[in-house]
Amino acid sequence: MPILAHKLLQPLGLIILAGITVAVLFWTRPDTQAELQPLPPARVFTDVVQLMSVQPLTRITGKLQPARKASLRLEVSGNVIERFVEPGQKVAAGEPLLQLYDGDFRDALTETRALFSQEQNAVNRDRELLDLVTRERVILEREVERMETLGRDSLASKSKYDEALRLLLKHQEEETQLRHSVDTTEARLNTRRAAVNMAERNLERSLLVAPFAGTVNAVLYDVGDHISTGQVAVELVQLDELDLYLEVTGQLAHQLRLDQEVKLTINGSELTGNIHAIAADPNPVTHTHAIRIRLPAENPYIELYPGQLAAAELPGKPLIDVEVVPISAILHEEGRAYVFAVKGNHISKQPVELIIRQKNMQVIQGITPGTKIVARDVAVLADGQEVHVE
């Protein structure tokens, strides 16, 4: 019996101990109502809206291109019989590039020269004949006048008069034809001369030559190929000068001028170029204007070559006495821009209009110069919030 009582007392003791522990925890629990502690004022750094003049600079990156590039086309058709150059080869102005078969062109020139010579001989012949016919006409006119004085009543004299008059009219007709031929001499010779000149030009066109000194970029035909009139045969580039090709907005394009100096950055080196061309009509797809900035290929700072990346700083129209704030002071929210003006130990959110960004500064409108504003970390602030100015 004592053993059974001892066994029953052990679980009972554990239950009593657990009950005491629960009671202690219940009476010592914390209050469920949490007291809200006021947040300390946010620490902010301030700046002042400044009034200053700004020179806007737009940085655009593009690629260098040869300043002069020509796609050379043949003005006559034929088969290539000789190829004088290869891509990468430097050539002088007038140096041959491709030669077409010129046998037909030489024959055409020979034919037109022969026809021109025949025309010249025919002109000389007609002039001599005209002189002879003119003198013979004068003799016949005198004969007609003499026969007319002999009397028209005599049958014999009348027959001879009619014969002489008929012969005179025939000579007059021949003289008129010869005179017309002589009068149109210049036109007929010009026609023959033009045919000779055209044949000479076609013979010259069978040889494609370099129009300027440069470097061959591509040769599109080889010996034996047939080239039709107007097809590009050789591409020639001039690498003495390079152009930086850029596309800019219409607003910026109208603020630039020809020959204006522009600062360029190429592989960390700063160079200077001049605006060589500005497209007046925008691209119908991109609505941008193409500009070309030219610079010499030879310079003591860096080796330049086509395809190299270059960045240009394009100056816009200067802005005089405009409001400027740090770019970090701008809060962008739902498509609008705001700054926080500091009044005492509170801030107020004020909308502003963004004009242009210049490096780490932002030109704005809509706030009075001299206004104290929060300079940074504006994303975590709220309108009317209490702050502590550092």
Q: Which two tokens stand for residue 269?
A: 């080196």
Higher pLDDT: 276 or 39? It is 276
Can you name the residues that pair with 336 across neighbouring β-strands? Answer: 333
Contacts with 329 (C-beta within 8 Å, 6 or more apart), sequence order: 47, 339, 340, 362, 373, 374, 375, 376, 378
| Gap between the Cα atoms of 257 and 375, Å rounded | 37
pTM above the 0.85 mark? no
For 267-304, letters b (16+ CB in 10 Å) and e give: eeeebebebbebeeebeeeeebbbbbbbbebeeeeeeb
Higher pLDDT: 84 or 26? It is 84
Residue % of the chain over a pLDDT of 90: 48
Confidence of residue 243 (pLDDT cuts 50, 70, 90): very high
pLDDT of 103 over the 60 cut:
yes
Chain mean pLDDT for the chain: 85
**Amino acid at residue number 32:** T
Q: Which tens digit of pLDDT belongs to each residue from 335-362?
A: 899 999 999 888 999 999 988 887 788 8
Position 1 scores a pLDDT of 46
Can you name the residues that pair with 309 across neighbouring β-strands? Answer: 63
pLDDT of 164 over the 80 cut:
no
Task: Give the residue-averaged pLDDT of 184-191.
Answer: 80
Nearest one of 309, 384, 303 to 340, comparing CA atoms:
384
Counted residue by residue, the chain has a size of 390
pLDDT of 100 over the 90 cut:
yes
pLDDT of 156 over the 60 cut:
no
Position 63 scores a pLDDT of 94
Contacts with 144 (C-beta within 8 Å, 6 or more apart), sequence order: 161, 164, 165, 168
Task: Give the residue-averaged pLDDT of 294-309.
Answer: 88
Count other C-beta atoms under 10 Å from residue 325's C-beta: 22
**Cα Rg, the chain, nearest whole Å:** 50
Position 186 scores a pLDDT of 80
**Amino acid at residue number 274:** N
pLDDT of 321 over the 70 cut:
yes
Higher pLDDT: 33 or 221? It is 221
Continuous H helices in the chain: 2-27, 103-150, 155-183, 185-205, 250-253
Higher pLDDT: 99 or 126? It is 99
| Gap between the Cα atoms of 249 and 289, Å rounded | 6
Higher pLDDT: 155 or 266? It is 266
The number of angstroms, rounded, from the C-alpha of 382 to the middle of its chain's C-alpha atoms is 49
Position 57 scores a pLDDT of 87
Q: Which tens digit of pLDDT belongs to each residue from 245-298?
A: 999 999 899 999 999 999 999 998 999 999 999 999 999 999 999 999 999 988
Task: Give the residue-averaged pLDDT of 218-225.
Answer: 95
Position 158 scores a pLDDT of 67
pLDDT of 161 over the 70 cut:
no
What are residue 303's phi and psi, to 5 degrees?
-85, 125
Q: Which two tokens stand for residue 240?
A: 């003495």
pLDDT of 39 over the 60 cut:
yes
Confidence of residue 178 (pLDDT cuts 50, 70, 90): confident
Position 175 scores a pLDDT of 73
Coil vs helix vs strand at 309: strand
pLDDT of 10 over the 80 cut:
no
Cα separations in angstroms, 193 against 102, 125, 197: 21, 19, 6
Cα separations in angstroms, 387 against 36, 327, 342, 349, 376: 19, 21, 9, 13, 13
Top mean pLDDT of 156-160, 234-238, 332-336 is at 234-238
pLDDT of 98 over the 50 cut:
yes
Task: Give the residue-averaged pLDDT of 367-379.
Answer: 90
Task: Give the residue-averaged pLDDT of 102-107.
Answer: 93
